[in-house]
Amino acid sequence: MSKNAEKWIAALRSGKYEQGRELLRESDRYCVWGVACDVSGLGTWKRAGPGMHTLEFKYGKGYGVKSSPPEKVIDWVGEGFWWEFKVAGRVGTDYTLMDLNDGDSVEPITFDQLADLIEAFLNGWNLKVGVF
């Protein structure tokens, strides 16, 4: 497992980040990938517009994202991507970390649970069979 992935997992478990949904960051709430953006140090947070609580992760000249991590952050984490997981009891459906964070067609899970899932996957467990 890469040192960057370890840093991301530790941040998810730290209690420093309040979990949010749908966006990388809104006010002081982050999604699972918003935490990765924050700890990567590869960009900065800027308000998406006047009076808005949504923040964009700004990286490079003129680039900003609100709801999906930039490839730069995915590459920083390393280990391969786009991870999809089977959820026990759900036939024929794979879920990304964003789905599991946001509760898209599945019950959302906590940062601690996401950290456990990421760690298990990066340690070589075959999670395609279902872990929940």
pLDDT for 30-85, tens place per residue? 999 999 999 999 988 888 777 677 778 887 666 677 888 888 888 898 866 556 66
Residues in the chain: 132
The larger pLDDT score, comparing residue 90 to residue 70, is at 70
Distance, in Å, from the CA atom of 36 to the CA atom of 53, rounded to the nearest integer, reads 19
Closest C-alpha among 33, 9, 8 to residue 19: 33
Quick one: pLDDT at residue 2? 85
pLDDT at residue 131 in the model: 41
How many folded domains does the chain comprise? 1
Question: What percent of the chain lies above the pLDDT cut of 90?
Answer: 30
Task: Determine the structural domain holding residue 123 and report its residue range.
Answer: 3-129
Q: Is the pLDDT of residue 115 over 50?
A: yes
